[in-house]
A and B are shown apart, each in its own frame.
Chain A
């Protein structure tokens, strides 16, 4: 098992290297070159030349790439053009919010999606099945910002059950430890702050969860249906095992294999969903930050965001592969 993980980690190196080359080329080929990215479009030719020189933009590409890679490895993503501060710091400040949001969304999507998908398969062709299939189709088809506004208008503005924006009520003076508001509240035992932070997470979490939830329901349903027809489930029935045993050990365990893969892909994709969700709910996180960066053409920040998305994808895929091999012994041998 350890060897499997190490091997997978080593395989990540070429992936990440390839990614860094793409990013580098992207920056290099920006209209007007990197100097425009830094100075803006109305810079004078003289200042352009100066910055080209100071940044070594006239060096051979390979040398520039080497320098770029060295900076990346040091965690140096450059300075934000807008805020004149290191991009990495800006992201680190906003990361906890996004992590809280995506984790909430995934808990909702997995926690509801798998049981619903299982039930839909078990009660195939009943109203429950039709409802969940229909609803998940609707969820996939609805643009996420539209759904976000809808949810906000209904539950926050009209009914007033939830806050309309932000991560924490401004009247609450909470102590900050980690930047994860829920965690902070629990650690400092400021329960009202923790609860309030959770309260703020519900609607954006639900919005962000909609697409993954729908896909997980459908995947689980299809997968469970297939497994229910397998001979080994019939064997388990023939042994007189309880329904619970059969469900957990024989049906779900096998049915989860394709679902795990999909969950991995969806988790990677959540960051792009977070851009819209965080914007709708004025939720401070890297998604909202990236959206602003796109508005302002803040290239270093955009680059940082792309890098983060890529790294998250790669890591999540690693986790998927590992959990897959934990569930399915046949993968380990290969």
Chain B
């Protein structure tokens, strides 16, 4: 049974004097207990908005969230009250953000920022909480944790800060961890270490994880299941194996081609998809990716394509593999 079942999640930003923006447009996916899934897509495709909606952390005004996100066959995260959500956040569902420096409070010692979660959800205070915090920092690979607890964020390196944030996130052994581009702000070498750490932690604790990234390379070694998003919709969803073996949607193809390869000749340009997410078609008129698509047909702009195919599904009328 699924730990989290997201059904038709839609987030529309709008205001009195702004046009509505459908940042997330009918996204459905499920996360099983202990499973790692990826949400992949370019900047602006609605990854962060999806995760914030699930956490109940979207701004209180100026947006409308519809759909369902059933957690553990019980609460609907999208419609439950803030009190229940507050009790769940940090305990059942935790989140890690992109920029570790700005995500830490600059004027509060690391130790306090760790122990406050322990106090809130596990009722730990004083020496017990301090000991546990020390163990947590140790667990995420921060050397000399006792000293680090007293330090402030600006005294830590970028990688250490992200480790500290991970320590806070796993402090209560949540059942679901949402990681929103946790390595984007870090050096390449550190990125690999952080991904390795996350993989290890969720494996040890049996935590399910939603890994959000724009880099298919990141999900390649990590995720059991991958959802590719474009302009707020899932355009392809498949197991890792199936997706990498038979990428079907032209957009997924483009993303795969843009992964930097170790064996590529220096100076070789990566193979980015031409155009940007800005050149999109509203989904109601046809496939949003059509203006950038190399396989575009006339039928692509005759209405929104449906999600088709069995377990490995895609939203395309002229997918790869269709003509071979």
Contacts and interface: CB of A to CB of B under 8 A. Distances in A.
A7 interface: no
Given A236-B105, A239-B116, A231 B121 contact: no
Interface string A224-260: 0000001110111111111001000110011001000
A330 B90 contact: no
Contacts of A327: 107
A328 interface: yes
Contacts of A328: 106-107
Interface in B45-96: 55, 57, 85-91, 94-95
Chain A interface, >50% SS class: helix
Interface in B85-138: 85-91, 94-95, 97, 99, 102-109, 112, 116-117, 120-121
B107 A329 contact: yes
B165 interface: yes
Contacts of B89: 237-240
Nearest to A253: B107
Interface string A310-334: 0000000000000000011110010
Contacts of B88: 240
A254 B90 contact: no
A232 B99 CA distance: 10
B103 A234 contact: yes
B241 interface: no
A237 B57 contact: yes
Most buried by B among A241, A245, A250: A241
Contacts of A240: 85-91, 117, 120-121
A130 B94 CA distance: 37
Most buried by B among A235, A238, A245, A253: A238
Interface string B128-172: 000000000000000000000000101000000000010010000
A187 to B, nearest CB: 39
B105 A249 contact: yes
Nearest to A249: B108
B55 A249 contact: no
A230 B105 CA distance: 9
Given A240-B90, A240-B120, A235 B165 contact: yes
Nearest to B117: A239
B103 A232 contact: yes
Most buried by A among B108, B112, B154: B108
Contacts of B57: 234, 237-238
A155 B287 CA distance: 71
Contacts of B121: 240
B120 A245 contact: yes
Nearest to A328: B107
Given A237-B57, A240-B87, A254 B106 contact: yes
A236 to B, nearest CB: 7
Contacts of B112: 249
A150 B138 CA distance: 65
Contacts of A330: 106-107, 152, 154
Interface string A293-317: 0000000000000000000000000
A250 B152 contact: no
A235 B107 contact: no
B165 A242 contact: no
B90 A329 contact: no
Interface of B: 55, 57, 85-91, 94-95, 97, 99, 102-109, 112, 116-117, 120-121, 152, 154, 165, 168
30 contacts: A230-B102, A231-B97, A231-B102, A232-B103, A232-B106, A234-B57, A235-B105, A235-B165, A238-B57, A239-B116, A239-B117, A240-B85, A240-B87, A240-B90, A240-B121, A241-B90, A241-B117, A242-B86, A245-B120, A250-B108, A253-B105, A253-B107, A254-B105, A254-B107, A327-B107, A328-B107, A329-B106, A329-B152, A330-B107, A333-B154
